[in-house]
Amino acid sequence: MNKIFNPNFRYTHKTVKNLVDIASARETILNAYLVPKWEISLRRDALIRAAHASTAIEGNPLTLEEVSQLAQGRKVTATRKAQQEVMNYLKVLENIEKYQEQDKITDKTVLKLQKDITKETLENPEHEGKYRELQVFVGSRITGEVIFMPPPPEEVSELMGEFIEWLNSSASSQLSPVLVAGISHYEFVRIHPFVDGNGRTARALATLILYLREFDIKKFFALDDYYDSERTAYYHALKSVDQKTLDLTDWLEYFTDGVLLSIAKVKEKALQLSLEKHKKESKGQIALTEKQMKIMENIISNGQITSGEIQKMFKISRQAAHKEIIKLTEINLIEQKGAGKAIYYVIK
């Protein structure tokens, strides 16, 4: 019988704050007014950015523009291998929901994920969809330094068994999906179960976990972008974990920073698109102040707002809150509902 994998970490103020802010941003996005064409556009943008970033970390030379062209079926000047890596990752992310068995992640799931990610790109095709039988090391492509030495090949199968058992356990289901994705990302990279494609598979696995835990927000955001933008920080965060204690506290601060940054960008875009319809209908195309944007964001998140809530938000008087309401009413962004003490405001 396998031992049970038990992640070691502490909740810090930073991690907790990140998780609260992530949940808040997620609600805003889910409640934003988005027509189907905008949703498709956001999804496509996230897909292309993820495919570019995740393969770039592993040394793929294609630019974001070239990845975008490939995704549209156009030709680019690059090696067959470089193009194949990008196309593989695009296809996996497009079909991420298929990598599961009855809402569970299994050995078979993980092997299939890596096989599809590395298809026709490895020097030795026998390494596709198969746990490694060789000793490998994790190194930075930038500095060339060895970050750490993964466990020997004879331990891989058992370690993956313990990890996957935890992933499907009640202990895992009680944690935030974001933490489960972060823990899984690190543990997968630590075990390094494959000869090649570990980084891309780890990042795709994190995406799959967020999808299965219904946190993926309609596939609107890409974590890979964050890792690629600061590769040195990514390697530093991986290296920061003590191999004796495997304390993931610092790593999870870094990981939740990334989720928050990624989701905040989507929130901003979703709010911008959501207000576009109302702005076009307004009389003078009046630019919104920061306060007004926050009020609108709050209404989008919660469906409505009261004058009292606006007072509390900005620590302002009833008269000042009323002024903000009048401005938003005059430009046809919000309207009053209810009567007397039960008055509230909704998006018009």
The end-to-end CA distance of the chain, in Å, is 60
Nearest alpha carbon to residue 195 among 90, 141, 115:
115
Q: Domains in the chain: how many in total?
A: 2
Residue 183's pLDDT is what? 97
Identify whether 122 is part of a domain. yes
pLDDT at 109 over 70: yes
How many C-beta neighbours within 10 Å does residue 269 have? 19
pLDDT, mean of residues 63-77? 89
Q: Are residues 195 and 334 in the same domain?
A: no
pLDDT at 263 over 60: yes
Report the distance separating Cα 73 and Cα 161, nearest Å.
39
Task: Quickly tell me which residue has 């795709």 as its tokens.
Answer: 204
- Are 224 and 53 in contact, with CB atoms under 8 Å apart? yes
Q: Are residues 317 and 251 in the same domain?
A: no
Q: Are residues 250 and 306 in the same domain?
A: no
Confidence of residue 268 (pLDDT cuts 50, 70, 90): confident
Final residue belonging to a domain, choices 269, 303, 327: 269
Final residue belonging to a domain, choices 269, 299, 329: 269
pLDDT at 44 over 60: yes
Identify whether 278 is part of a domain. no
Report the distance separating Cα 113 and Cα 128, nearest Å.
10
Report the distance separating Cα 166 and Cα 194, nearest Å.
20
Identify whether 5 is part of a domain. no
Identify whether 190 is part of a domain. yes
Q: Are residues 176 and 244 in the same domain?
A: yes
Summarised one tens digit per residue, pLDDT across range 145-192 is 777 789 999 999 999 999 999 999 999 999 999 999 999 999 999 999
pLDDT at 137 over 60: yes
Which range of residues forms the domain containing residue 303? Answer: 283-347
Q: Are residues 104 and 219 in the same domain?
A: yes
Report the distance separating Cα 272 and Cα 97, nearest Å.
28
Residue 84's pLDDT is what? 95
- pTM here is 0.78
Report the distance separating Cα 245 and Cα 243, nearest Å.
6
Q: Are residues 298 and 253 in the same domain?
A: no
Identify whether 3 is part of a domain. no
Please report, as a single letter, which amino acid is at residue 139: G
Final residue belonging to a domain, choices 269, 299, 326: 269
Q: Are residues 215 and 293 in the same domain?
A: no
Q: Per the structure block, which two tokens stand in for 40?
A: 């498709």
Mapped onto helix, strand or coil, the DSSP state of residue 336 is strand
Report the distance separating Cα 84 and Cα 78, nearest Å.
10
Identify whether 215 is part of a domain. yes
Residue 292's pLDDT is what? 85
Q: Are residues 244 and 296 in the same domain?
A: no
Q: Are residues 260 and 306 in the same domain?
A: no
Residue 115's pLDDT is what? 97
Q: Are residues 171 and 288 in the same domain?
A: no
Confidence of residue 285 (pLDDT cuts 50, 70, 90): very low
* CATH code (residue 296): 1.10.10.10
Query: How does the average pLDDT of the chain come out, rounded?
Result: 87
Residue 287's pLDDT is what? 63
* CATH code (residue 79): 1.10.3290.10
Backbone angles phi, psi at 93, to 5 degrees: -65, -35
Residue 45's pLDDT is what? 86
- Are 113 and 96 in contact, with CB atoms under 8 Å apart? no
